[in-house]
Amino acid sequence: SYELTQPPSESVSPGQTATITCSGDALPNQFLYWYQQKPGQAPVIVMSRDTERPSGIPERFSGSTSGTTGTLTITGVQAEDEADYYCQSADNTGTYPVVFGGGTKLTVL
Amino acid sequence: EVQLLESGGGFVQTGESLTLSCAASGFTFVSYAMNWVRQDPVKGLQWVAAVSGSGSRAYYADSVKGRFTISRDNSKKTLYLQMNNLRAEDTAIYYCAKDQFDYGDSVSFSPWGQGTLVTVSS
């Protein structure tokens, strides 16, 4: 079955730039989405269709893709950005099944 | 404001059944496909099932195909997940999630409900 691969953890100091990657063979052909999840809360979408920031998401969040790798970048990380981040997409067969990456725990030092 | 409120979770034995509900408000329910996504500490987030706005088309993850049925009642603005022959590996928090867009071929989820816990014990 199709898989999206994320690093399990990333650490960054406040004010620095955090980059979280997601790798998948179908990413050249499928949109990539990113979700933020804080403890005890439901996931919230922070990046849509590779590079689109949904309404209400701070400008410090940006997305990009290159080949089979997508990246979520947080420029000027704040303490409140500490959370789990999940990427989501689909394989080359179509819209379903939807696939999530394993998640990356972002720690703000 | 869009709101999704799940209910119906609980503790069941292996092989038993359970039905989850998700009451929606704040948007034109019939215009959006709806989804169930589950989360457990080991396997992380896993998409479970989706149903089209009209309810005529349903899609399932292989792990639940043949055991779970997703449906909706647009007159009640409510989404359902009928879960039969439950297994220990179905133990998870189950989230109801609205398709972010009412158009296009790609699927994304926004917003999500707060989730309901399903525990299956052997």
Residue of B nearest to A84 (CA): B44
Write the pLDDT tens digit of every residue in A55-80: 999 999 999 999 999 999 999 999 99
B46 touches chain A (CB under 8 A): yes
Shortest Cα distance, chain A CAs vs residue B77, angstroms: 21
Per DSSP, chain A holds a count of helices (H) and strands (E) of 0, 9
Distance from CA of B59 to the nearest CA of A (A): 7
Given a cut of 80, is residue B105 above it in pLDDT? Answer: no
- Are the C-beta atoms of residues A6 and A24 closer than 8 Å to each other? no
Confidence of residue B104 (pLDDT cuts 50, 70, 90): confident
| CA distance to partner chain B, nearest, from residue A56 (Å) | 12
Q: Is residue A34 helix, strand or coil?
A: strand
Q: Distance between CA atoms of A77 and B20, rounded to whole angstroms?
A: 38
Please report residues of B whose CB lies closer than 8 A to that of A94. 105
Task: Find the CB nearest A90 among B107, B112, B115.
Answer: B107
Tokens of A20: 């979280």
Q: Which residues of chain A neighbour B100 with C-beta distances below 8 Å?
A: 45, 48, 54
Considering only CB atoms, B108 lies closest to which of A41, A48, A99, namely A48
d(CA B48, CA A74): 30
CB contact under 8 A, A99 and B61: no
- Residue B94 pLDDT > 90, yes or no? yes
Is it the case that residue A91 has pLDDT exceeding 90?
Answer: no
Q: Do A44 and B105 touch (CB under 8 A)?
A: no
Q: B18-47, pLDDT tens digit by residue?
A: 999 999 999 999 999 999 999 998 889 999
